Amino acid sequence: MKRSLQQPSRKIKDVRHTTELSSFIPDDADEYRESLLDILERMDTGYWPTIEVKRGWYQLISELNEKLSNQCQNYKIRSLKSSSHQLQFHINLNPSDENKLQGLIKEIMYAIARSQHICEMCGVNSSEKISEEGCKSCGQSGTQVKKRRNKNVSED
Ligand SMILES: [Zn+2]
């Protein structure tokens, strides 16, 4: 690991001071630029503002963000990434918005389920789980191999 823990936290501070969040928008954002900037602006204080998913999911996370912000204008994002070909999306709410939590979780769970069927690389939709089977369109591999090795993973 090249980065020490000190470095990013100092940079987060800089980001918050200068609000240069646009420099964290992925280069391939294209039509999702605005949405991804909104997502970055929602990153909770102290959390590294990055979009840790690939282009194929930009639409998915943009739609999710729109639904969540419609339900709760001030919701914050703690992390947004891909883990074992599945979307991981952690949020934080103001105490006064706690009553909206269930509704938000429902949307997030739906997006997570969808993420398993959308190729993170090329964005292709599949009726099969791309997370497991891989993508026939671009050749991105799934987790089947990993699953066979790891008996702890059992979900269907
Ligand atoms: Zn693909």
Q: What is the mean pLDDT of each run of 10 residues along the chain (156 residues)?
A: 48 55 92 95 88 96 98 95 94 96 98 96 94 90 64 52
Q: Is residue 11 in a domain?
A: yes
Q: Is residue 52 in a domain?
A: yes
Q: Is residue 105 in a domain?
A: yes
Give me the pLDDT at residue 152, please: 53
Taking the centre of ligand 1 as the mean of its atom positions, its distance from the CA of residue 104, in whole angstroms, is: 28
Query: HEC profile for the chain?
Result: CCCCCHHHHHHHHHHHHHCCHHHHCCCCCHHHHHHHHHHHHCECCCCCCCCECCHHHHHHHHHHHHHHHHHCCCCEEEEEEEECCEEEEEEECCHHHHHHHHHHHHHHHHHHHHHCCECCCCCCECCCCHHHHCCCCCCCCCCHHHHHHCCCCCCC
Q: Would you tell me how many other CB atoms lie within 10 Å of the CB of residue 14? A: 10
Taking the centre of ligand 1 as the mean of its atom positions, its distance from the CA of residue 28, in whole angstroms, is: 16
Q: Is residue 138 in a domain?
A: no
Q: Is residue 147 in a domain?
A: no
Q: Is residue 152 in a domain?
A: no
Q: Is residue 131 in a domain?
A: no
Taking the centre of ligand 1 as the mean of its atom positions, its distance from the CA of residue 154, in whole angstroms, is: 24
Number of independent structural domains in the chain: 1
Predicted structure pTM score:
0.80
Q: Is residue 82 in a domain?
A: yes
Taking the centre of ligand 1 as the mean of its atom positions, its distance from the CA of residue 121, in whole angstroms, is: 5
Taking the centre of ligand 1 as the mean of its atom positions, its distance from the CA of residue 115, in whole angstroms, is: 12
Q: Domain range for residue 50?
A: 6-126
